[in-house]
Amino acid sequence: MKIGIGNDHSAVEMKNQIKEYLESMGHEVVNYGTDSTDSCNYPEFGEKVGRAVADKEVDCAVLICGTGVGISIAANKVNGVRAAVCSDCATARLVKQHNNANIIAFGARIVGIELAKDIVKAYLDAEFEG
């Protein structure tokens, strides 16, 4: 699967770890986020990833900012995007099963890296039931 990933300055380290995790699972990962910890404008990265998903450049995506909320709001402004903030595995599974979310988001200041990996896996393992 081809998965987009985007982040702001608060989530560079987590983005790199999630990217590595996804690649270890055999996925191709396209980085649309910043690699700098200098303060940046998170909506730019949310929109970039949203457009990549809507234009079918990637199959789905992961967004990470401080809370996951701001970057997901930016992505959701792109027509065709269904981005959902997930802070637990049940939500990650359900947003795919019930809402056919094509982007998940979480906060680097909210969840730790192991939970973030579990959230990504729960989302990817789920299938839309519609």
Of 9, 27, 86, 98, the catalytic one is 98
61 to each of 28, 38, 39, how far by Cα in Å? 11, 23, 22
Of 9, 27, 60, 65, the catalytic one is 65
- Annotated catalytic, 65? yes
* Residues annotated as catalytic (active site), given as ranges: 65, 98
